[in-house]
Amino acid sequence: MHETSIICKLDKLGRLTFPTKMRNNLGIYYGDGLEFLVNGEQLVLQKHAPGCIFCNSVTDGIEYKGKEICTSCLNDIKAIHG
């Protein structure tokens, strides 16, 4: 992946415009969730991929009461609580 740099200014309400070309290249579309992560002095923006609430795995997930849990953690819980 090559680096792209675009300067965007915040408006009065603290919003910025995410350039269409960048959104399309990253597969980010209307309604997608975005995560803001702080890494030292850097702000990282990434497409939200819901994962297991215990291990953050994004594979084999099921939703229970609005939370995502992977089958591995579910099996661990079942083994503990028999």
| Range list of β-strands (E), the chain | 34-39, 42-47, 61-64, 67-70
Domain hosting 2: range is 1-48
* Same domain? 57 vs 73: yes
The pair phi, psi for residue 47, each rounded to 5°, is: -65, 135
Give the CATH number, domain containing residue 43: 2.10.260.10
Residues 23, 59: one domain? no
Q: Tens digits of per-residue pLDDT, 11-58?
A: 999 999 989 988 998 889 988 888 898 999 999 888 887 788 888 887
- Quickly state the pLDDT bin for 4 (edges 50, 70, 90): confident
Co-location of 41 and 53 in the same domain = no
Q: Are residues 21 and 3 in the same domain?
A: yes
